[in-house]
Amino acid sequence: MGLLQELVAIQREIYLAFADRIGNFAETGDWQLLAAYLPMGIVFGAVHALTPGHSKAVLAIYLTGSTATLARALVVSLALSFTHVTMSVLIALFSLPLVSVALGSVGRAPLLEDLSRGLLGLIGLWMLWQAFRGTGHSHGREGSLVGFMAGLIPCPLTLFVMTFAISRGVPQAGVAFAAVMMIGVVLVLAAVALAAVLFRQQLLRLLAARPRVVDAVTRTIQVTAGLILVAVAWNAIVG
């Protein structure tokens, strides 16, 4: 709990400082004043991504159960990060038609959350089907789709920043901060993705001398990952 409180405190300090910069930018229009603080957005994004959420567990579960390479794992994490942040930017920019449909409370989008979990449930079923058929090959498109589906849940803090910037008449400042913030999110999610793939590869390497065991372990991991994704989807939608 102490670490989480520290992360939340750091987020709050950066957010309040950037809110001041947005206010100054709204008054002066000085991009240099804003740009000098933008790199802090990377720290903000990384710290924010370390807090609970952001589909880190889903990302790790999928990559552990798939046959994705390190390069594909990075693509999945990039797709997730880009969609996660971009959804918030789009919701803020087009809030009038979207808020009443997608948003149930501040910082949340129940409709998009249900859609995201439902699609991930389908991926889970697909992984189960592959495991039982013995076709565990993972395609690059599948990984990118998983990243997109998991990222459909918008980032609440990006939404707050965008809403504040729009309220001050400078949406471009919010977009700029969201762009650099996404770099921090990518760094954290990429680390999670690489750790998951390296864990799977190391486990299979240890069992390389026993091909039948490798096949059994691979299928077991894939079945487990598929069941978890289906369970998460079912719990999120039904619950």
d(Cα 207, Cα 203) in Å, to the nearest integer? 7
- Rounded mean pLDDT, 55-68: 83
User: Residue 54 has what pLDDT?
Assistant: 63
Res 52: pLDDT? 75
Burial (CB < 10 A; 0-12, 13-18, 19+), residue 192, is buried
The three-state (H, E, C) secondary structure of the chain, written as one string: CHHHHHHHHHHHHHHHHHHHHHHHHHHHCCHHHHHCCCCHHHHHHHHHHHCCCCCHHHHHHHHHHCCCCHHHHHHHHHHHHHHHHHHHHHHHHCHHHHHHHHCCECCECHHHHHHHHHHHHHHHHHHHHHHHHCCCCCCHHHHHHHHHHHHCCCCHHHHHHHHHHHHCCCHHHHHHHHHHHHHHHHHHHHHHHHHHHHHHHHHHHHCCCCHHHHHHHHHHHHHHHHHHHHHHHHHHHHC
127-162 pLDDT tens trace: 787 777 765 555 557 777 888 888 887 787 888 888
pLDDT of residue 125: 82
Confidence class for position 101, pLDDT limits 50, 70, 90: very low
* pLDDT band with cut points at 50, 70 and 90 for residue 53: low
CA distance linking residue 232 with residue 118, whole number of Å: 9
Residues 6+ apart with CB under 8 A from 79: 143, 144, 146, 147, 148, 151
Q: In Å, what is the CA distance from 185 to each residue of 78, 138, 200, 215?
A: 9, 24, 23, 34
Q: Does residue 108 surpass a pLDDT of 50?
A: yes
Write down the pLDDT at residue 97.
46
Check whether 103 has a pLDDT greater than 60: no
- State the pLDDT confidence band at 104, using cuts at 50, 70 and 90: very low
Mean pLDDT of the chain: 80
Q: What is the pLDDT of residue 123?
A: 77
The per-residue pLDDT for 14 is 84
CB 208 within 8 A of CB 214: yes
Tokens of residue 218, six digits: 């691979």
Q: What is the mean pLDDT of residues 161-189?
A: 91
The pLDDT value given to residue 111: 65
Q: What's the CA gap between 230 and 233, in Å, rounded?
A: 5
pLDDT digits (tens, 9 = 90+) for 4-13: 788 778 888 8
Of 97, 124, 99, nearest in space to 109 by CA = 99
pLDDT (0 to 100) of residue 48: 85
70 Cβ contact list (under 8 Å, min separation 6):
194, 197, 198
